[in-house]
Structure 1
Amino acid sequence: MSGGVDSSVAAYILKEQGYNVIGLFMKNWQDDSESCSAEADYADVAKVCNTLDIPYYTVNFSKEYYEKVFEYFLLQYKKGRTPNPDVLCNREIKFGPFLEHALKLGADYIATGHYAGVEERKGLFYLKKAKDNNKDQTYFLNQLTQTQLSKVMFPLENIEKSQVREIAKKLKLSTAEKKDSTGICFIGERPFKEFLKKYIPAKTGKILTLDKKEIGTHDGVMYYTIGQRKGLNIGGVSGTSGRWFVIDKDVENNVLYVRQNEGEELFSKSLVAEGFNFIPKVPEKIEFECTGRFRYREPDKKINVKINSNKVYVEFENLERAVTLGQYAVLYDRVYCLGGGEIIAKA
């Protein structure tokens, strides 16, 4: 129970189906002077559980979150990459210590408000896309193992987000109108630059065009992502017109490279991903065609895949815009998620 509308309705659905439901709230970030959202979320959990008449508990995995997710998050930013903490949080916390704690309480399964599904066939567990394609969250679940998938239920698999809101309103749940969280996993929404500066000292540097002309300064290359056009503060450069885009980041020399308008430098024909987790198992063929996503909420793209040990090489059928190191390449076969790995190179 996160304190949001999705997990609230997921709990209701399970109870209606006859399950003995227990609410479990996780606190994974120590509150500071900027954010007390965990307290407000827990208050909503209490209200919802009281309305649904189910017991609820709270657990604190702040130490595990910091060591297994946040430290890696910072390391990636220091390297100039743009990490995806939600993927790590699912693998290392929600379906790690959280699952273990639930089992110790006597639970047979954990259930979450993710928009996804699980299907078992011949002892193997498949991760499936949700009915609501706009909310499908299999991208964030690409690192889940067979053991983890065997112990999870996704009650919202076949429900549209609009239906979830309607159910919550009919039940008069306190979370019915609560907006979806869009901040860093378990840290919440806050001014990102100011938050990151607490952990990685800001280091100003040059903004250069691709022909090495200096046109401005940046606050630190870690604050920018490939393809970004907002927040560069270089509009109105003498003798130029058109929007500027981030094309590359030179971490070693602390240089941000930009160009005007979208050019070929912003597009890639292939990528390399490592740390690949295959669902339900490693494919028998080392080369095959399928579809893939390279960021959340984008349509599946046709790709050719080659597997070499723990690295996966992906060639795009069409050029792909703003492939970003640190994000995940996630493979699909129709409605099934085949797994994913972290993007470490592009060409």
Structure 2
Amino acid sequence: MSKQKVVVGMSGGVDSSVTAWLLKEQGYEVIGLFMKNWEDDDDGEYCSTRQDWIDVVSVADLIGIDLEAVNFAAEYKDRVFAEFLREYSAGRTPNPDVLCNAEIKFKAFLDHALALGAQTIATGHYARVRETPAGRFELLKALDHTKDQSYFLHRLNQAQLSKTLFPLGEMPKTQVREIAAQIGLPNAKKKDSTGICFIGERPFREFLNRYLPTQPGPMKTPDGKLVGEHMGLAFYTFGQRKGIGLGGSKEGSGEPWFAAAKDIPSNTLYVVQGHDHPWLLSHTLSAGNPSWIAGEPPAEGLSCSAKTRYRQADAACTVSAVTNGGAHFGLRFSDAQWAVTPGQSAVLYDGEVCLGGGIIETAAEAAPALRAPQQAALLTPRR
């Protein structure tokens, strides 16, 4: 009987390397696939493609698996990076890793793996897949909640989950490092990547400035007082503290400044003082462009929890205003959420089960009366 063939997405990191080794130990026929998805200015200073490829080759040789390289740069630029730039141009803050997983790692990569004759694919993500007695597939949080990546995977559908393995979802990251050291992986101590998906760790403003026209504009307080000039609205996200340029300002209370709102038509950035300023707190949000793992939206009135950014504890909420056949939905939180940011993902959970989510469009502030007259134009509606 022939072994089941699985294609493992290998990045050169320790997680995907241990994933490949685990599956080979479990009796799979493993093929490693290295994806090159970024070619612009790939000079090695910030983009580590060359070193990553060397690490992947070394790992594949050590554990004894076949290896293939594939170039998805055109797909990445068309499906992920173009949307990334469109969102920033509209004043929102997108999450490229969410789109990258949905469009590249679990679409272009999955299609390529199936063409190679594989039955399944696997990645080094920290998450779990469970098949229910009814034959549905659920996306679950990883057992190691400090590393759980289900937030980034919430746009996967039934077809994708049915063909995906996440071997690391059952173990803590410390155990993955231990396995890597025990079997002598050359990248056992390689640090985790924290850069933009496939683009690497580079100065973000400098990088974005090469692709988007930027226009400096006024920086104002909620009462309309001019306190400085911003470098371009695309460079700021709600809740941002560093890089505003008001750290030494003697204006106001002396508390730290935070970016809190953008008025696109007037090219104005509104800033507030104090971490818990009302403009940074929201009890409700609306979201669009949803993706539901079960294939249908949750019922209106459902009590669940949600994350409005990756590094955040689950927050109790209620699903409201499911409209247009589920194309839009609202969330009402028990406790005010901090710096809810248009463009980021609101991801819903029922305990350990990830239900899916959508792209945040607007958030209602705890004290909307404090808003400037330009409230209606603060953000252009998402297409």
TM-score, with normalisation over the residues of structure 1?
Answer: 0.98
Instruction: In structure 2, give the amino acid aligned to 1:295.
Output: R
Rounded to whole Å, the distance in 2 between the matches of 1:283 and 1:72 is: 24
The C-alpha deviation readout for 1:62-83, integer Å capped at 9, x for no partner, is 0000000000000000011000
Instruction: In structure 2, give the amino acid aligned to 1:170.
Output: Q
Identity %: 52
1:58 equivalent to 2:69? Answer yes
1:286 equivalent to 2:300? Answer yes
Equivalent residue pairs, number: 347
Is the deviation greater in 280-289 or in 203-212? Answer: 280-289
- Counterpart of 1:44 in structure 2 is 55
1:127 equivalent to 2:136? Answer no
1:85 equivalent to 2:102? Answer no
- Counterpart of 1:253 in structure 2 is 266
Instruction: In structure 2, give the amino acid aligned to 1:270.
Output: T
Question: What is the SS of the residue equivalent to 1:22?
Answer: strand
Structure 1 unaligned segments of length 5 or more: list them: none
Is the deviation greater in 197-206 or in 231-240? Answer: 231-240
- Counterpart of 2:7 in structure 1 is none
Q: CA deviation at 1:287?
A: 2.4
Question: What is the SS of the residue equivalent to 2:167?
Answer: coil
- Counterpart of 1:274 in structure 2 is 288
Q: Is the 8 A contact 1:134 1:297 kept in 2?
A: no
Q: Is the 8 A contact 2:47 2:201 kept in 1?
A: no
1:22 equivalent to 2:7? Answer no
Q: How does 1:118-267 map to 2 (within 5 A)?
A: 118-121=129-132, 122-240=134-252, 241-262=254-275, 263-267=277-281
Rounded to whole Å, the distance in 2 between the matches of 1:61 and 1:167 is: 30
Rounded to whole Å, the distance in 2 between the matches of 1:302 and 1:71 is: 34
Q: CA deviation at 1:281?
A: 3.2
Instruction: In structure 2, give the amino acid aligned to 1:177.
Output: K
Rounded to whole Å, the distance in 2 between the matches of 1:231 and 1:36 is: 23
Q: Is the 8 A contact 1:84 1:326 kept in 2?
A: yes
1:319 equivalent to 2:336? Answer yes
The C-alpha deviation readout for 1:292-329, integer Å capped at 9, x for no partner, is 11110211110000222211110001110000000001
Rounded to whole Å, the distance in 2 between the matches of 1:69 and 1:239 is: 41
Q: CA deviation at 1:235?
A: 2.5
- Counterpart of 2:12 in structure 1 is 3
Rounded to whole Å, the distance in 2 between the matches of 1:325 and 1:285 is: 23
Is the deviation greater in 283-292 or in 164-173? Answer: 283-292
- Counterpart of 2:381 in structure 1 is none
Instruction: In structure 2, give the amino acid aligned to 1:120.
Output: E
- Counterpart of 2:109 in structure 1 is 98
Instruction: In structure 2, give the amino acid aligned to 1:341.
Output: G
Is the deviation greater in 331-340 or in 303-312? Answer: 303-312
Instruction: In structure 2, give the amino acid aligned to 1:293.
Output: K
Rounded to whole Å, the distance in 2 between the matches of 1:139 and 1:200 is: 28
Distance 1:54-1:239 versus aligned 2 partners, 3 A rule? closer
- Select the residue among 13, 21, 32 that pairs with 1:12: 21
Distance 1:325-1:239 versus aligned 2 partners, 3 A rule? closer
Question: What is the SS of the residue equivalent to 1:131?
Answer: coil
Distance 1:314-1:56 versus aligned 2 partners, 3 A rule? same
The C-alpha deviation readout for 1:128-164, integer Å capped at 9, x for no partner, is 1100000000000010011111110001011100110
Question: What is the SS of the residue equivalent to 1:324?
Answer: coil
1:332 equivalent to 2:356? Answer no
Rounded to whole Å, the distance in 1 between the matches of 2:328 and 2:137 is: 23
Instruction: In structure 1, give the amino acid aligned to 2:299.
Output: K
- Counterpart of 2:314 in structure 1 is 300
Structure 2 unaligned segments of length 5 or more: list them: 1-9, 365-383
Q: CA deviation at 1:172?
A: 1.3
Rounded to whole Å, the distance in 2 between the matches of 1:30 and 1:284 is: 40
Question: What is the SS of the residue equivalent to 1:314?
Answer: strand
Question: What is the SS of the residue equivalent to 1:156?
Answer: helix
Q: How does 1:111-122 map to 2 (within 5 A)?
A: 111-121=122-132, 122=134
Rounded to whole Å, the distance in 2 between the matches of 1:274 and 1:215 is: 34
Instruction: In structure 2, give the amino acid aligned to 1:245.
Output: F
The C-alpha deviation readout for 1:5-52, integer Å capped at 9, x for no partner, is 000001111011111100000000005144441111111000000000
Distance 1:54-1:206 versus aligned 2 partners, 3 A rule? same
Q: CA deviation at 1:195?
A: 0.2
Q: Is the 8 A contact 2:258 2:271 kept in 1?
A: yes
TM-score, with normalisation over the residues of structure 2?
Answer: 0.89
The C-alpha deviation readout for 1:206-244, integer Å capped at 9, x for no partner, is 111111111111111110110111111113334541211
Q: Is the 8 A contact 1:31 1:38 kept in 2?
A: no
